[in-house]
Chains A and B, each alone.
Chain A
């Protein structure tokens, strides 16, 4: 597949997932290179009361460090940020992350919609949103916001998803630029990584 990736246009990637997405995220983190330029924000549905273990599990195969940020942590290039248990992860003005203990959204805290919406507001057309397998409609509204702000939208194809409710809801909510199986999403990230490295030579 050929991807239309304007040179160095994008500034950040947000990834949302729920049931059936953990293995995929592990694969993604094992694929992107150590010096992958963009910050990645991960919002994955998780148990509210289990604070430890998740980030460690993601780190095992990741080429890049994965952290659960503190409130108002400055965003750094090339870092991977995971929404902590029982907090929404939002992108704040001034290149920082803001956490929030607001109500559950779509039965979840962290909620993908909050991460996606705030990222779309801050990064505008310089954001890539990726939505993976999951069991509810969280992330659909967020994808719509990313699209409306001019960002790039990528969704795992429902047939390829273990649980297709989340991808399907996003596809129904807005125009998705790339609907593809996880292998395609991996190729896309490799291509993106390469385009950044080329542009830097």
Chain B
């Protein structure tokens, strides 16, 4: 019988979180110190439950002695939940306003998906560009911290169960075809059309510590910074700002905001409902 309430009772102390982030930093170089406590504590608790560990100290001991475990730890500690065409109206605005605006002054378009997770956002973008007939004009870079999730994104294989939400979102976005035209069902899984990925390069990149590596016309960093505290949000936003050409666009999640960020004065709001900003100052 499954218990009615699965809860091991132990709450995670801030002191334990500190010990863990210190070990991870010192041993592996990743810095989770400034992740938002409310979700990060929950993620740690989840890892403890998943691997049946009794305490954070046990987790620290395993991370310290078993380096193979670290990649799994990263996969479990990060939140990878995503959808194709999440916030359909956002994608509509991209197609009708933002991308045409960029192409007014350029014949090519460069796009960065920062925190691309399993790639649904990237496929959505390629489908938009394909339907606009400009996929060949695009250079797309998609990055994430989590190596395993990038592999998943590259394989472009999703469970059919998830395709229901994706189809509904695509319909609400008012795509010109059917989402089914872009994948084949193989052994109960949806395998995305590889041609959509012709101009996409996936790579591992850490938003917290990674250097600015290029400049883009459009940066999407949606539902990534909600897992950071305000200090870290400010730091990462500075980096995203640097990664944009002047007059380039930044898109964040629909419930994220730049209002409280120092960098806000270097952007103007292009669409407040969909949280699209334009860089106006270097």
Contacts and interface: CB of A to CB of B under 8 A. Distances in A.
Contact of B38 (A49, A68, A92): A92
For the side of the interface on A, what is the size category? 20 to 34
Interface residues of B, number: 32
Contacts of A93: 37-38
A68 B255 contact: yes
A141 B255 contact: no
B264 to A, nearest CB: 13
A48 B41 CA distance: 25
A182 interface: no
Contacts of A73: 257, 260
Interface stretch (B4-12, B128-136, B147-155): B4-12
Contacts of A101: 79, 81-82, 223, 226, 253
Main secondary structure of the interface of B (DSSP, over half): loop
B238 interface: no
A100 B79 contact: yes
A29 interface: no
A102 B257 CA distance: 19
B42 A71 contact: no
A96 interface: yes
Given A49-B172, A72-B260, A141 B81 contact: no
B259 interface: yes
Interface string A70-100: 1111100000000010010011111010111
A176 interface: no
- Most A C-beta atoms less than 10 A away, residue of B79, B225, B226, B257: B226
A173 interface: yes
A141 B7 CA distance: 8
A60 interface: no
Contacts of B214: none
A96 B255 contact: no
A56 B203 CA distance: 42
B36 interface: yes
B29 to A, nearest CB: 25
A100 B39 contact: yes
Contacts of B253: 71, 101
Interface of B: 4-5, 7, 11, 36-39, 41-42, 79, 81-82, 87-88, 168-169, 172, 223, 225-227, 229-230, 233, 253-257, 259-260
Top 7 nearest A-B pairs (CB, nearest first) are A90-B38, A70-B257, A71-B226, A118-B38, A98-B38, A101-B223, A98-B36
Given A84-B255, A102-B81, A141-B5, 15 more contacts: A51-B87, A70-B255, A71-B253, A71-B255, A72-B226, A73-B260, A87-B255, A94-B230, A98-B39, A98-B226, A99-B255, A99-B256, A100-B227, A101-B82, A121-B11
